[in-house]
């Protein structure tokens, strides 16, 4: 049998197609008949599922819920604060923010939301709410309080010195903004104190990394870290050690002039420091004395603050 005959034999004819359709229709009609009884029996159920019938008669009555009066929500929040249920208080105050936008109730609700979240220890939520408050009400009388709560939310999350100090940096920045923008704020004194604490933390991190590089004899990298301490944090307790470590690093690099300057600045500003005694002894092992070079970056850095 050639290929042409095979094609003719297996190609469906009009009659075979007709028989297939008839069989399919018969099967379909049979299935329809089989399904007719349960469909008819469940007509009421299908009627109830018809979306067009959902709003007919008494089957469904849409109801518009009225907002809780603003004063009631505020008082609810205060009551929950009184019993120290801070998460519940935050929800009540947040409802004011949502239900009464563009009003004084929204402002009052939002600032109390920040406070409640802060008290609950939900610092990330408090930070987000504070940022929103500052964005919405930058001229409000209590915006300094929003800045303070945001700063404190970062401050309370400052990790130990061995870990990343991003939160220390953010807290320091916000405390500095409070001092600069709102000098008469009741939060200025505490902001000054906590700014010093956060700056000390940031300086401590730089010192830790600098000492690591020094122990690895990577003196250039070490100088970079100690220089950072003197450039940004020279009013912290770490400045004394940074000057001594610079004396050590510059001697190791063979730059005695800078080593002598670091020791001289250390002795002039902190004459009773144990770090000065160490720096002086280190210079003497090389037959050197502390001697300030006025052209050195170290001398210039301290002169800007009236030191040195």
Q: How far is CA 187 from CA 124, 140, 143, in A?
A: 21, 16, 11
3-state DSSP assignment of residue 295: coil
Question: What does the alpha-carbon distance between residue 279 and residue 266 come to, in Å, rounded to a whole number?
Answer: 8
232 pLDDT band, cuts 50/70/90, is very high
> Is the model's pLDDT at 20 over the cut of 80?
no
d(CA 12, CA 14): 7
Which token pair is 101? Answer: 């936008």
- Whole-angstrom distance, CA of residue 187 vs CA of residue 179: 8
Mean pLDDT calculated for residue range 267-284: 96
Per-residue model confidence (pLDDT) at position 67: 72
CA distance from start to end of the chain: 111
Q: How confident is the model at residue 39 (pLDDT cuts 50, 70, 90)?
A: very low
Q: Residue 136, class by beta-carbon neighbours within 10 Å (0-12 exposed, 13-18 middle, 19+ buried)?
A: middle
**Angle CA 138–139–141, to nearest 5:** 115
Separation of alpha carbons 114 and 172, rounded Å? 19
Asked if pLDDT for residue 118 goes beyond 80, the answer is yes
The rounded distance, in Å, linking the Cα atoms of 293 and 277 is 20
User: What is each CA distance from 110 to 78, 123, 130, 156, in whole angstroms?
Assistant: 13, 15, 8, 21
Instruction: State pTM to two decimals.
Output: 0.75
Q: How confident is the model at residue 14 (pLDDT cuts 50, 70, 90)?
A: very low
Q: Assess contact for 117 and 97: CB atoms under 8 A.
A: no
Mean pLDDT, all residues of the chain: 84
Average pLDDT over residues 33-52: 47
Q: Which residues fall within 8 angstroms of residue 256, CB to CB, at 6 or more apart? A: 250, 286, 288
User: How far is it, in rounded angstroms, from Cα 78 to Cα 288?
Assistant: 69
Question: Would the pLDDT of 290 be above 90?
Answer: yes
Q: Write the DSSP string, 47-86.
A: HHH-GGGTTSTTS----PPPPPPHHHHHHHHHHHHHTT-H
> Does the pLDDT value for residue 305 go beyond 70?
no
* pLDDT at site 303: 73
**pLDDT score recorded for residue 211:** 98
CA 10 from chain centre, in angstroms, equals 72
Portion of the chain with pLDDT greater than 70, in percent:
77
Mean pLDDT over 107-135 rounds to 98
**Which segments of the chain does DSSP mark as H helices, in order?**
3-10, 14-41, 43-49, 70-82, 86-99, 104-119, 123-136, 143-155, 166-181, 188-215, 219-232, 239-253, 256-269, 274-284, 297-303
Distance CA 99, CA 28 (A): 57
pLDDT value at residue 226: 98
Tell me, what's the pLDDT at 53?
Answer: 54
pLDDT digits 0-9 by tens, 131-176: 999 999 999 999 999 999 999 999 999 999 999 999 999 999 999 9
In percent, the amount of the chain with pLDDT more than 90 equals 74
Tell which residue, 187, 115, 177, 251, has the closest CA to residue 262.
251
- At 54-107, the pLDDT tens digits run 555 555 454 434 578 999 999 999 999 999 999 999 999 999 989 999 999 999
């Amino acid at each position: 049998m050639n290929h042409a005959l095979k094609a003719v034999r297996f190609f469906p004819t009009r009659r075979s197609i007709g028989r297939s359709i008839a069989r399919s229709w018969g099967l379909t009609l049979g299935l329809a008949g089989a399904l007719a009884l349960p469909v008819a029996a469940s007509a009421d159920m299908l009627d109830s599922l018809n979306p067009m019938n959902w709003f007919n008669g008494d089957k469904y009555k849409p109801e518009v819920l009225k907002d809780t009066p603003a004063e009631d929500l505020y008082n609810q929040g205060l009551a929950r604060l009184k019993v120290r249920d801070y998460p519940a208080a935050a929800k009540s105050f947040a409802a004011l923010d949502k239900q009464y936008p563009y009003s004084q109730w929204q402002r009052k609700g939002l600032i109390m939301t920040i406070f409640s979240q802060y008290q609950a220890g939900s610092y990330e939520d408090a930070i987000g709410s504070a940022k929103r408050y500052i964005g919405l009400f930058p001229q409000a009388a209590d915006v300094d309080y929003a800045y303070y709560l945001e700063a404190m939310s970062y401050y309370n999350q400052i990790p130990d010195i061995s870990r990343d100090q991003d939160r220390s940096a953010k807290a320091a920045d916000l405390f500095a903004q409070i001092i600069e923008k709102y000098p008469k704020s009741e939060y200025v004194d505490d902001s000054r104190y906590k700014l010093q604490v956060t700056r000390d933390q940031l300086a401590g991190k730089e010192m830790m990394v600098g000492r690591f590089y020094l122990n690895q004899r990577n003196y250039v990298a070490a100088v970079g870290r100690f220089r950072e301490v003197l450039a940004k944090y020279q009013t912290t307790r770490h400045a004394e050690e940074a000057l001594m470590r610079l004396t050590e690093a510059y001697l190791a690099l063979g730059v005695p002039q800078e080593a002598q300057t670091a020791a001289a600045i250390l002795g002039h500003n902190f004459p009773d420091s144990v770090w000065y005694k160490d720096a002086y002894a280190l210079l003497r092992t090389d037959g050197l004395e502390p001697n300030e070079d006025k052209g050195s970056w170290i001398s210039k850095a301290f002169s800007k603050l009236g030191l040195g």
